[in-house]
Chains A and B, each alone.
Chain A
Amino acid sequence: KAGVTQTPRYLIKTRGQQVTLSCSPISGHRSVSWYQQTPGQGLQFLFEYFSETQRNKGNFPGRFSGRQFSNSRSEMNVSTLELGDSALYLCASSEGNSYEQYFGPGTRLTVT
């Protein structure tokens, strides 16, 4: 099976812009979780989607949003970008609750 894929891999945006990141899970996986990794805060959970429903959300402002499509692909959106949003954004997919999660290669976002 193909692994988790994320696009784009690298992105440079200007403060105030918005950005959309995409994640395609492993075939058959219905859960997609998103994480942010920064040097200061480490790896933090953003949100999780299962069958197009957001089931869990981390402590991030409303500028961070996401959605999941019927084919389980997921997107996350960050509006009104701030310098502090510069990070590696990782998505992971899983077959179900508390099953093993598999991560994509990540999208490295730089906000200038």
Chain B
Amino acid sequence: GIQVEQSPPDLILQEGANSTLRCNFSDSVNNLQWFHQNPWGQLINLFYIPSGTKQNGRLSATTVATERYSLLYISSSQTTDSGVYFCAVDRGGYNKLIFGAGTRLAVHP
């Protein structure tokens, strides 16, 4: 089956710093989503981005489908950005998301 790898596994930042999270996937996909998991466990949708580039405030994402990777950029990080960021892909079209292991981000004041 398709493999999803996220890097780095852990990231520690000072408030105000920028960061780039990476997601590599091993096959073509129909869907790619980025999520932020809050401390209570809920997955918050950040981007639905099977290809192209999108921006939402301090966050932006780029997926290069032909090269099978996606990047999530966080600028001017805040302590509220702390948590785990997941990349997930769907290859078969039946809404079966395959998740990466996540990047655990800690932003210190």
Contacts and interface: CB of A to CB of B under 8 A. Distances in A.
Given A103-B43, A105-B42, A43 B86 contact: yes
B101 interface: yes
B8 to A, nearest CB: 16
B45 A100 contact: yes
B3 to A, nearest CB: 13
A42 B101 contact: yes
Contacts, number: 68
A45 B95 CA distance: 10
A100 B95 contact: no
Contacts of A94: 95
A99 B48 CA distance: 8
A106 B41 contact: yes
B97 A56 contact: no
A33 B96 contact: yes
Contacts of A35: 97, 99
A88 B43 CA distance: 12
B40 to A, nearest CB: 7
A73 to B, nearest CB: 16
Contacts of A33: 95-97
B99 A42 contact: yes
Contacts of A43: 86, 88, 97, 99
Interface string B75-92: 000000000001010101
Given A100-B48, A101-B33, A45 B41 contact: no
21 contacts: A31-B95, A33-B96, A43-B86, A43-B88, A43-B97, A43-B99, A44-B99, A48-B94, A48-B96, A50-B95, A88-B41, A90-B41, A90-B43, A97-B30, A98-B31, A98-B50, A98-B93, A100-B33, A101-B97, A105-B41, A106-B42
